[in-house]
Amino acid sequence: MSAFLGLEVRDVTKSFQGGTVVDNVSLKVPQGQLVCFLGPSGCGKTTLLRIIAGLESASSGRLFVDGRDVTNVPVEQRNFAMVFQSLALFPHLSVAENIAYSLRLRGMDRASRQARVNELLDLIKLPGIAHQSVEKLSGGQRQRVAIARAIAQEPLLFLLDEPLSALDAKLRDHMQVELRMLQQKLKITTILVTHDQREAMTIADRIVVMANGKIQQVGAPIDVYRNPANRFVASFVGQSNLLDADVLNDTHVRVLGEVLPMSKIPRGISRNARVTVSVRPEDTRIERVDAVDAAGSNGTLPGEVTFVRDLGDLVELRVACQGKELISVGAPGQWPDIRHAERVRVRLPADAATILAS
């Protein structure tokens, strides 16, 4: 059998005195892919990354790269490159000297080093700054230089821990797109740790959602978004309306006292089971009460608008239905004259809702 190409984490657990922070994690990162570890603060994603890097040893479990067991290979022999949130560029060196650091250690001659540095500066879209001091660079430029310095090593694995979180929102958004395009061009096997679901969805081929040291779900970003495995994933990856529901039969549930049709009730869920219905804000439909006749109101939740927010590129409504607040998001101009305190009906389209075990 040929070896799996890429990184394999097998049954890794890490316990500190305070408890278990990585709990029996197994996952594969195929060669050339970018995988994001996504989860809230304290879920264990940094500890898992540090174990992969070799900066921390696992309490149990093993790591393989291209089928080779690297569990006990010391950090300096793994040939993994790392970029962290708190950058560690050498402040007294120029941009070129920073990037060429690993090339010099490898004994590359001066002319080849220069050529490689210029190539990498082109790649990170910062040509012509080779001789600048790194202290004069902006936050975004520094981060790009750190990435170039890491790439210069030609690492087997590229590990990034919240690399963009110190940047302001606009620059972070820009850098996410750049980092993704760079990784697609170079096809370096990469793991990026983030708590920002938007960043994960921008950058990743696959997302590993973590909570309490455990993997909650692994999948392509849009699959995770569309088909969350549980309540935690539904609320952490994007926004979701989560509603308690009782299953009535194969096609209907009762939510907030109303009978609603649902087309995705999984087989095997018994009648009367308590479940959670998860509906994304953009999937909800808002109907004016005066525009809905008695028959047409079936399958909707009556409510009252409590908040309207027009952000220009989208409009958000909050609607109180039987004491439960639902969020609805629509295109600009979708509800031109909807007002606070207006009575509406919220339709949850039968095929858009995901049914989760409670």
**Interface with ligand ATP by CB under 6 A: which residues?**
16, 18, 21, 39, 41-47, 195
- Rounded distance, CA 117 to CA 148, Å? 8
- In the complex, least distance from residue 36 CB atom to ligand ATP, rounded to whole angstroms: 12
The DSSP-derived string for 40-73 is -TTSSHHHHHHHHHTSS--SEEEEEETTEE-TTS
Using DSSP bridges, classify how beta strands 190-194 and 34-38 pair: parallel, antiparallel or unpaired: parallel
Nearest Cα to 45, choosing from 164, 183, 195? 195
DSSP alpha helix (H) spans, the chain: 45-53, 95-99, 101-105, 110-123, 139-152, 169-186, 197-203, 221-226, 231-236
- Rounded distance, CA 23 to CA 34, Å? 22
* Closest to ligand ATP by CB, 72 or 86: 86
Residue in the shown chain whose Cβ atom is closest to ligand ATP: 46
* Closest to ligand ATP by CB, 214 or 285: 214
- In the complex, least distance from residue 274 CB atom to ligand ATP, rounded to whole angstroms: 31
- In the complex, least distance from residue 276 CB atom to ligand ATP, rounded to whole angstroms: 25
Nearest Cα to 50, choosing from 19, 16, 4, 99? 16
Structure tokens at 18: 């305070």
* Closest to ligand ATP by CB, 47 or 241: 47
The DSSP-derived string for 234-286 is HHHSS--EEEEEEE-SSSEEEETTEEEE-S-PPTTPPTT-EEEEEE-GGG-EE
- In the complex, least distance from residue 39 CB atom to ligand ATP, rounded to whole angstroms: 5
Let me know the angle formed at the C-alpha of 224 by 220 and 227, rounded to the nearest 5 degrees: 130
* Closest to ligand ATP by CB, 162 or 283: 162
CB 193 within 8 A of CB 162: yes
* Closest to ligand ATP by CB, 38 or 319: 38
Backbone φ and ψ of 216, nearest 5°: -95, -35
* Closest to ligand ATP by CB, 43 or 277: 43
- Rounded distance, CA 207 to CA 224, Å? 8
* Beta-bridge partners for 246: 254, 274
- In the complex, least distance from residue 147 CB atom to ligand ATP, rounded to whole angstroms: 20
- In the complex, least distance from residue 188 CB atom to ligand ATP, rounded to whole angstroms: 22
* Closest to ligand ATP by CB, 29 or 247: 29
- In the complex, least distance from residue 233 CB atom to ligand ATP, rounded to whole angstroms: 16
- In the complex, least distance from residue 42 CB atom to ligand ATP, rounded to whole angstroms: 4
Let me know the angle formed at the C-alpha of 107 by 103 and 113, rounded to the nearest 5 degrees: 45
* Closest to ligand ATP by CB, 213 or 221: 213
* Closest to ligand ATP by CB, 237 or 353: 237
- In the complex, least distance from residue 30 CB atom to ligand ATP, rounded to whole angstroms: 23
DSSP structure class, residue 353 = P
